[in-house]
């Protein structure tokens, strides 16, 4: 006879999660972020209290940003551990949809458990319930379906017997990895069921290492052997696979240069001779010049998004072949690429063996030296102490203050482009950029998640004033929990990055910088005072020299440390980069827009989709 234990559905869920382990023997779900409401406080709240010693619960201030913290935690852990996030029904749940989109785009694991309506429909419509006039089974949680890798609605207590293993399979599968949503009806959370005791036995989930198909491997080796100017485009999959050392050995053995996407940056140290640095719209000249003449472009663990490919105008060699080594078949065959569907580490090892002693004849001598000669002066401190600093000079100040354990992070605005071009990343994991969704508001919450993942890291977060205003509430959470990281707020009075894009496409400066918005000239925000009011240690500095002095004190400070500096919204690194397709109006009375449209049409001719 099967031995059972009587538990509520919520108790069974958290007991199961606490028993799921990664290959290192750690609890895979490292904790639960929760904001309680009527849709989860009585059921899940009580259940989480019962397992608080083995599955800690953290209280956030906003459902979206506490989910960002969970996602950053998983990213910094290279997907070896993840977190769960629970909310009440209604707005608490929909607040998390943006975070689900971020996790989906970046292939990162997070478990969403939003409360849902009553499965028994007795008290319908309940507080915060959206009624679909044509579908009695729908709730707002259906919004999670397109941004979840697996979605299930728990409307009976026994549903978790199948839903939870499916959820764990998705979270831990390298090819399917992404957000999972278990929409948990609030009455069902409290209902009891006799669960098999065996369901709660510890289970180890190992990341599957898919080995290459032999014909695909032979085809890829033949392609590389015939290449005169090959290049490797490295993506985030190299980090998640633990393949950074394998990548280095592969590149060295076969003399194939490496270029970095935002997610792939730091896979090789910046000063490695074969690391040509950033690629694409925010890329540098060494990488983009080689990519323009490359005859074989081998993506490893990348999804080839438009910033990487210059909207598919970057790989300009008429005879170029696109190839992709990726654990996901969807990505491996993208844009008619020759696929090698495999785990990055195992795939590179077996591809190297198939190549034997072959080395490519590509010559990259002098490219890096010429690049750094151009851009290094941009990061120097200004000669004139009273000049309004540029973002490049802020990057330089932080770079000079960084050490081997420093990890910098960002997500949106001006800094992702400047950091991609200018930041000199050392060991793997020292560069954390969320640029798949480029979600404003990820930064502060994400920095907290990074620090929770790697407590010994010196975490420095770059954020602009616009992003800070969108989502700063987890600053108070970090202060409450005593989590230490540094936030550098560059205040250029608005959305400086998009203002430059607006100007670059021929538009007038309009509604981006505060001075060009209705009433914006009256806006004066004291970011240091605001951060201080939430419990952070904060300071406003007036120069790069003062910024460096402030950064030198960060190791002495417990909790979040915020440094605010005013910057010039207009300059950006003038070197590198490539075309990015943005729809410029075909019809306009403005000459600048018509000129931009002419450039658009010219660049469009270089675009290759296959």
Distance from chain centroid for Cα 84: 17
Please name which of 290, 281, 278, 287 lies closest in space to residue 312, comparing C-alpha atoms: 281
Q: pLDDT at position 256, please?
A: 98
CA distance 58 to 70: 10
pLDDT tens, position by position, 528-563: 999 999 999 999 999 999 999 999 999 999 999 999
DSSP string, 281-325: TT--HHHHHHHHH-SEEEEES----HHHHTTTTS---TT-EEEEE
Centre a 10 Å sphere on the Cβ of residue 205 and count the other Cβ atoms it contains.
16
Collapse the DSSP code of 558 into the 3-class scheme (helix H, G, I; strand E, B; otherwise coil) and give the result.
coil
pLDDT tens, position by position, 90-148: 999 999 999 999 999 999 999 999 999 999 999 999 999 999 999 999 999 999 999 99
- Classify residue 513 by its DSSP letter: B
Residue 206, token pair as written in the block: 């190992």
Please name which of 113, 76, 137 lies closest in space to residue 263, comparing C-alpha atoms: 76
Q: Taking residues 290-295, report their average pLDDT.
A: 98
Rg (CA), the chain: 25
Please name which of 126, 119, 98 lies closest in space to residue 183, comparing C-alpha atoms: 119
Collapse the DSSP code of 557 into the 3-class scheme (helix H, G, I; strand E, B; otherwise coil) and give the result.
coil
Residue 608, token pair as written in the block: 């290759």
Collapse the DSSP code of 48 into the 3-class scheme (helix H, G, I; strand E, B; otherwise coil) and give the result.
helix
CA distance 570 to 509: 11
pLDDT tens, position by position, 61-93: 999 999 999 999 999 999 999 999 999 999 999
Q: pLDDT at position 472, please?
A: 97
Residues 310 and 316 sit within 8 Å (Cβ to Cβ): no
Instruction: Give the model's confidence band at 385: pLDDT under 50 very low, under 70 low, under 90 confident, else very high.
Output: low
Please name which of 344, 351, 230, 235 lies closest in space to residue 297, comparing C-alpha atoms: 230
Taking the model in full, what pTM does it have?
0.97
Place of tokens 């290192």: 24
Residues 58 and 481 sit within 8 Å (Cβ to Cβ): yes
Please name which of 148, 138, 168 lies closest in space to residue 102, comparing C-alpha atoms: 148
For residue 495, pLDDT beyond 90? yes
Collapse the DSSP code of 280 into the 3-class scheme (helix H, G, I; strand E, B; otherwise coil) and give the result.
coil
Place of tokens 């989480």: 48
- Classify residue 136 by its DSSP letter: T
- The residues that bridge with 87 in the sheet, in sequence order, are 114
Q: pLDDT at position 386, please?
A: 66
Residue 348, token pair as written in the block: 């590179």
Residue 239, token pair as written in the block: 């980090």
Q: Taking residues 564-587, report their average pLDDT.
A: 96
Q: For strand 258-260 and strand 29-34, is the pairing parallel, antiparallel, or unpaired?
A: unpaired
Please name which of 304, 268, 289, 260 lies closest in space to residue 420, comparing C-alpha atoms: 260
Q: Taking residues 390-414, report their average pLDDT.
A: 97
CA distance 426 to 502: 34
Residues 434 and 467 sit within 8 Å (Cβ to Cβ): no
Give Cα separations from 226 to 212, 230, 275, 296, 398 (angstroms). 20, 9, 22, 9, 43
- Among 178-182, 280-284, 603-607, which is the least confidently predicted range? 603-607
Q: pLDDT at position 383, please?
A: 83
Residue 427, token pair as written in the block: 């060991």
Please name which of 301, 65, 18 lies closest in space to residue 168, comparing C-alpha atoms: 18
Please name which of 559, 561, 548, 563 lies closest in space to residue 402, comparing C-alpha atoms: 548
- The residues that bridge with 411 in the sheet, in sequence order, are none
| Residue 266 Rama label (left phi>0; alpha psi -120 to 50; beta) | left
CA distance 200 to 532: 45
Dihedral (CA of 5, 6, 12, 15) sign: negative
CA distance 508 to 593: 9
Q: Which residue has the higher pLDDT, 382 or 104?
A: 104
Residue 104, token pair as written in the block: 């989906």
CA distance 569 to 576: 19
3-state DSSP of 437-495:
CCCCCHHHHHHHHHHHHCCCCEEEEEEEHHHHHHCCCHHHHHHHHCCCEEEEEEECCEC
Q: pLDDT at position 404, please?
A: 96
Please name which of 158, 33, 54, 42 lies closest in space to residue 96, comparing C-alpha atoms: 33
User: Distance between the two ends of the chain, CA-based, in angstroms?
Assistant: 60
CA distance 604 to 579: 9
Instruction: Give the model's confidence band at 1: pLDDT under 50 very low, under 70 low, under 90 confident, else very high.
Output: confident
Residue 187, token pair as written in the block: 């009455």
pLDDT tens, position by position, 13-55: 999 999 999 999 999 999 999 999 999 999 999 999 999 999 9
Domains and CATH numbers, the chain: 4-205 (3.40.50.970), 219-365 (3.40.50.1220), 370-566 (3.40.50.970)
Centre a 10 Å sphere on the Cβ of residue 515 and count the other Cβ atoms it contains.
12
Please name which of 203, 126, 114, 104 lies closest in space to residue 154, comparing C-alpha atoms: 114
Asked if omega into 40 is within 30° of 0 (cis), the reply is no
Residues 291 and 309 sit within 8 Å (Cβ to Cβ): no
Share of the chain above pLDDT 90, in %: 97
Collapse the DSSP code of 52 into the 3-class scheme (helix H, G, I; strand E, B; otherwise coil) and give the result.
coil
For residue 187, pLDDT beyond 90? yes
CA distance 602 to 600: 5
């Amino acid at each position: 006879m099967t031995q059972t234990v009587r538990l509520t559905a919520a108790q069974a869920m958290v007991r199961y999660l606490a028993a799921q382990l990664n290959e290192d023997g750690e609890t895979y779900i490292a904790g639960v972020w929760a904001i309680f409401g009527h849709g989860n406080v009585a059921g899940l709240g009580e259940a989480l209290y019962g397992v608080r010693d083995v599955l800690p619960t953290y209280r956030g201030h906003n459902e979206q940003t506490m989910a960002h913290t969970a996602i950053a935690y998983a990213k910094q852990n290279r997907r070896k551990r993840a977190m769960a996030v629970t909310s009440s029904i209604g707005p608490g749940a929909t607040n998390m949809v943006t975070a689900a989109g971020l996790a989906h785009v970046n292939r990162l694991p997070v478990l969403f458990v939003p409360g849902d309506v009553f499965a028994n429909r007795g008290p319908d419509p309940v507080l915060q319930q959206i009624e679909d006039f044509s579908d009695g089974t729908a709730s707002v949680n259906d919004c999670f379906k397109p941004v979840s890798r697996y979605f299930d609605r728990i409307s009976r207590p026994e549903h978790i017997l199948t839903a939870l293993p499916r959820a764990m399979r998705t979270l831990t599968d390298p090819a399917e990895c992404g957000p999972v949503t278990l929409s948990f009806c609030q009455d069902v959370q409290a209902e009891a069921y006799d669960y098999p005791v065996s369901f709660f036995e510890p289970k180890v989930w190992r990341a599957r290492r898919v080995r290459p198909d032999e014909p695909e491997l032979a085809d890829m080796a033949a392609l590389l052997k015939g290449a005169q100017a090959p290049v490797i485009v490295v993506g985030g999959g190299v980090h998640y696979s633990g393949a950074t050392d394998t990548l280095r050995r592969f590149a060295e053995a076969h003399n194939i240069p490496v270029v970095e996407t935002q997610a792939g940056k730091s896979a090789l140290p910046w000063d490695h001779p074969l690391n040509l640095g950033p690629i694409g719209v925010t890329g540098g000249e060494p990488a983009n010049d080689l990519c323009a003449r490359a005859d074989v472009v081998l993506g490893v663990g990348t999804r080839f998004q438009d910033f990487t490919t210059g909207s598919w105008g970057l790989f300009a060699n008429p005879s170029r072949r696109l190839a992709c080594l990726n654990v996901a078949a969807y990505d491996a065959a993208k844009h008619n690429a020759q696929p090698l569907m495999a785990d990055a580490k195992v795939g590179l090892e077996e591809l190297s063996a198939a190549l034997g002693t072959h080395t490519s004849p590509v010559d990259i001598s002098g490219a890096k030296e010429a690049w750094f000669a151009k851009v290094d002066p941009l990061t120097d401190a200004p000669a004139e102490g009273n000049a309004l600093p540029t973002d490049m000079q802020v990057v330089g100040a932080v770079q000079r203050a960084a050490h081997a354990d420093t990890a910098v992070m960002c997500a949106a605005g001006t800094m992702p482009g400047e950091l991609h071009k200018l930041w000199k990343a050392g060991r793997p994991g020292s560069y954390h950029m969320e640029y798949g969704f480029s979600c404003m508001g990820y930064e502060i919450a994400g920095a907290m998640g990074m620090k929770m993942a790697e407590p010994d890291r010196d975490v420095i977060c770059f954020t602009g004033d616009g992003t800070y205003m969108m989502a700063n509430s987890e600053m108070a959470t970090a202060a409450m929990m005593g989590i230490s990281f540094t936030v550098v707020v560059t205040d250029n009075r608005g959305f400086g990055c998009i203002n430059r894009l607006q100007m670059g496409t021929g538009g007038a400066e309009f509604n981006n910088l505060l001075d060009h918005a209705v009433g914006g000239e009256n806006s004066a925000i004291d970011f240091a005072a605001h951060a201080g009011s939430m419990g952070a240690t904060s300071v406003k500095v007036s120069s790069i020299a003062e910024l460096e002095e402030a950064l030198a004190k960060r190791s002495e400070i417990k909790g979040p440390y915020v440094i605010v500096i005013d910057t010039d919204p207009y300059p950006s690194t003038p070197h590198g980069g490539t075309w990015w397709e943005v729809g410029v109006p075909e019809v306009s009375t403005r000459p600048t827009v018509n000129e931009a449209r002419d450039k658009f049409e010219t660049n469009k001719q270089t675009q290759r989709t296959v």
